């Protein structure tokens, strides 16, 4: 499930942020005389970490998505504190503005009961924990190993300004950048191919066929494309997801 | 100490603008809509042509009971209006109103990204409201909001990127410094796409499917009463101010004008913003609501290709003139 995956990423990223703190703090003024920025960094890191933990442990699905907003926003603040302004705003733009909105859209389209969902627990809890721990350890190890001797001068000119980021990206890292672009293009083409296939199948009307029959297109279309957790196994059958979701909301409280 | 005073003064000015300009737009909308529809609009409150109508509305909203439905998710329901409103306050901080670094609330290095990112956060408020109300109409409204945002975020970003390419910077102040008059015809397609996509992001007519009052009551805001409802309305009008200001700054040259750019630059910015706000109202009175599928089609088959074409054009011209 994408939510769990995203949460694990946030979790790992939270740990990653904490680890990154260790590097600048034993800089010129020693570990035990931190500056205001470093204290703020640590506090925001703790908040981010806490929000990430709540994201993966809460039983309320939509709350998990909203806590994810806090975690991702906290990461953006960390980037800001490390003078990487451009990265910070892109983080907000992509993750808070788009990914979480997509996540909420998927949740609301399928099932988003008010209150706790007793079945929101996965049997893979320990496997997920193991994967998260391994990912966190790997990330911490890579970051500490890679940036062991790199210091960010917080008082000087911004090391992560848009100009600096752009120059290093398009002078030193052009090849990985282009490689990633091709990867994204492949994903885009793949998505189009998948959606075309679904259209050709008999019995699953396309987006526009709803309009042709005169009914509101967005509503009936979603019945045939339950996103993520399938409604059938939950006993909601092939009924309209919009129709049952508020009913579930009422039943759940 | 002087610095602190300076910052406080700037924040205060931005805050006052944030509180008054949306009301101005709202009052203009009352009157302009009325006259376009062959009636007078509010005439009594305050005496002269009903100028105090919105103040009276505010008093009315403040007096109403603040109801949270029994089935709602209480905390999220109550938090949603703030999430919808505050981003626009932050965005106003970064919009330059005149020449120089003195005429902007706060100079942001990656201004375009800051502005678009923070504006995107505001939509979370509608989503939270739509879900937490435990109401079918609200949930439908929330869903439509999300679908609309996903469709129109892309053309908005692409056209903003086109301006950034033209100026060679992503700072709003820098873009205005680099502006030349011939950018206007050069970027005109991008300007229209940006403005239309912005309208859709604000859910203004003709893109008001998420709040379509004749079919889903008032979408995500159906269950809201009193001050919280007023906050959502205020967010809509603050959004108009922000969108018009941004379009003026990015595409219409902000404080640049045929004359008087030195002392009266801010007048140009305000004038352009006001004209755009008038167009927003005009569109509301003129066009019928787009159906959900028409809405998606407009974005994916028209606005996205147009914005890509604009980026290509910007790139070509930029290479040629260098």
- Residue A197 is predicted with a pLDDT of 66
Domains in chain A, number: 2
Q: What angle do CA A53, A55, A61 make, to 5 degrees?
A: 150
Among chain B residues, CA nearest to A163: B169
Give how far A16 is from chain B: nearest CA, Å.
23
User: Hey, what are A237's tokens?
Assistant: 């059958």
Q: Where are the domains of chain B?
A: 2-321
Q: Are residues A83 and A150 in the same domain?
A: yes
Whether A244 shows a pLDDT value over 80: the answer reads no
Interatomic CA distance for residues B60 and B90, integer angstroms: 27
The verdict on A192 touching B (C-beta cutoff 8 Å) is no
CATH number at residue A57: 1.20.120
In-domain check, residue A130: yes
In-domain check, residue A220: no
Q: Are residues A189 and A94 in the same domain?
A: no
Q: Do A98 and B120 touch (CB under 8 A)?
A: yes
Quick one: pLDDT band at residue A138, thresholds 50, 70, 90?
very high
- Residue A23 is predicted with a pLDDT of 43
DSSP character at residue A94: I
Q: Do residues B247 and B194 make contact, with C-beta atoms less than 8 angstroms apart?
A: yes
Give how far B153 is from chain A: nearest CA, Å.
8
Q: Do residues B135 and B223 make contact, with C-beta atoms less than 8 angstroms apart?
A: yes
- Residue A156 is predicted with a pLDDT of 67
Please compute the mean of the pLDDT values over residues B20-42 and round it to a whole number.
87
Q: What is the 3-state secondary structure (H, E, C) of B183-198?
A: HHHHCHHHHHHHHHHH
Mean pLDDT over all residues of chain B? 85
Mutate to test the interface with A, among B77, B117, B152, B197 (most CBs of A within 10 A): B117
Domain with A192 in it: 173-202
The residue whose two tokens read 């009961």 is A113
Whether B102 shows a pLDDT value over 70: the answer reads no
Q: Are residues A61 and A136 in the same domain?
A: yes
pLDDT one-digit tens code per residue, A57-69: 888 888 888 899 9
Give how far B60 is from chain A: nearest CA, Å.
31
Q: Report phi then psi at B109, rounded to 5.
A: -60, -50
Q: Are residues A137 and A189 in the same domain?
A: no
* Chain A residues touching B142 at Cβ < 8 A: 104, 108
In-domain check, residue A215: no
Whether B291 shows a pLDDT value over 50: the answer reads yes
Q: Are residues A188 and A78 in the same domain?
A: no
The verdict on A223 touching B (C-beta cutoff 8 Å) is no
Whether B54 shows a pLDDT value over 80: the answer reads yes
* Chain B residues touching A108 at Cβ < 8 A: 127, 130-131, 139, 142-143, 146
Among chain B residues, CA nearest to A244: B136
Quick one: pLDDT band at residue A145, thresholds 50, 70, 90?
confident
Q: Are residues A135 and A87 in the same domain?
A: yes
SS3 B293: helix
Minimal Cβ distance to B139: which of A93, A108, A208: A108
Give how far B28 is from chain A: nearest CA, Å.
31
Interatomic CA distance for residues B160 and B112, integer angstroms: 7
Determine what percent of chain A is predicted with pLDDT higher than 70: 60
Q: Do B292 and A96 touch (CB under 8 A)?
A: no
Q: Are residues A44 and A61 in the same domain?
A: yes
* Chain B residues touching A100 at Cβ < 8 A: 124
Quick one: pLDDT band at residue A134, thresholds 50, 70, 90?
very high
Q: Output B2 or B181, whichever has higher pLDDT.
A: B181
The verdict on A98 touching B (C-beta cutoff 8 Å) is yes
């Amino acid at each position: 499930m994408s939510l769990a995956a995203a949460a694990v990423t946030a979790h790992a990223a939270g740990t990653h942020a904490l680890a990154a703190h260790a590097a600048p703090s034993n800089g010129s003024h020693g570990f035990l005389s931190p500056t205001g920025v470093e204290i703020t960094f640590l506090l925001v890191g703790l908040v981010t970490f806490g929000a990430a933990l709540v994201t993966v442990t809460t039983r309320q699905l939509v709350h998990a998505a909203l806590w994810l907003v806090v975690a991702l926003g906290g990461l953006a603040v960390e980037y800001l504190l490390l003078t990487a302004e451009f990265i910070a705003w892109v983080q907000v733009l992509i993750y808070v503005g788009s990914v979480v909105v997509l996540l909420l859209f998927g949740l609301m389209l399928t099932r988003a009961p008010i209150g706790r969902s007793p079945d929101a627990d996965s049997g893979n809890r320990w496997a997920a924990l193991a994967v998260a721990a391994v990912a966190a350890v790997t990330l911490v190890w890579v970051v500490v190993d890679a940036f062991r001797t790199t210091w960010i001068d917080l008082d000087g000119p911004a090391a992560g300004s848009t100009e600096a980021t752009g120059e290093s990206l398009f002078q030193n890292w052009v090849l990985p950048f282009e490689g990633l672009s091709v990867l994204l293009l492949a994903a885009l083409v793949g998505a189009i191919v998948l959606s075309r296939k679904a259209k050709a199948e008999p019995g699953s009307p396309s987006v526009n066929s709803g309009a042709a029959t005169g009914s509101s297109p967005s509503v009936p279309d979603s019945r045939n494309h339950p996103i993520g957790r399938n409604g059938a196994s939950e006993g909601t059958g092939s009924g309209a997801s919009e129709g049952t979701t508020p009913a579930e909301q009422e039943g759940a409280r | 100490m002087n610095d602190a005073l300076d910052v406080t003064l700037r924040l205060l000015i931005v805050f006052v603008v944030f509180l008054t300009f949306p009301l101005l737009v709202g009052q203009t909308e009352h009157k302009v809509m009325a006259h376009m529809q062959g009636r007078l609009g509010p005439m009594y409150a305050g005496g002269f042509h009903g100028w105090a109508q919105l103040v009276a509305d505010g008093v009315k909203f403040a007096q109403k009971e603040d109801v949270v439905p029994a089935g709602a998710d209480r905390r999220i329901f109550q938090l949603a209006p703030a999430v919808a409103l505050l981003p626009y306050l932050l965005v106003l901080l970064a919009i330059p109103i005149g020449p120089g670094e003195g005429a902007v609330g706060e100079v942001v290095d990656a201004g375009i990204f800051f502005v678009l990112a923070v504006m995107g956060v505001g939509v979370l408020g509608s989503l939270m409201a739509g879900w937490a109300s435990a109401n079918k109409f609200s949930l439908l409204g929330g869903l439509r909001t999300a679908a609309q945002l996903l469709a129109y975020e892309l053309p908005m970003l692409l056209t903003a990127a086109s301006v950034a390419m033209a100026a060679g910077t992503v700072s709003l102040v820098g873009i205005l410094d680099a502006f030349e008059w011939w950018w206007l015809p050069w970027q005109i397609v991008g300007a229209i796409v940006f403005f239309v996509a912005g309208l859709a992001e604000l859910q203004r007519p003709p893109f008001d499917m998420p709040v379509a009052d004749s079919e889903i009551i008032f979408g995500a805001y159906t269950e809201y009463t009193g001050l919280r409802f007023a906050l959502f309305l205020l967010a809509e009008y603050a959004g108009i101010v922000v969108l018009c200001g941004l379009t003026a700054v990015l595409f219409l040259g902000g404080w640049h004008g045929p004359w008087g750019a030195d002392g009266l630059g801010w007048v140009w910015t305000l004038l352009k913003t006001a004209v755009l706000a008038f167009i927003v109202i005009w569109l509301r009175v003129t066009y019928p609501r787009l159906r959900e599928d028409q809405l998606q089609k407009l974005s994916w088959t028209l606005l996205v290709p147009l914005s890509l074409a604009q980026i290509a054009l910007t790139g070509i011209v930029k290479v040629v003139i260098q």
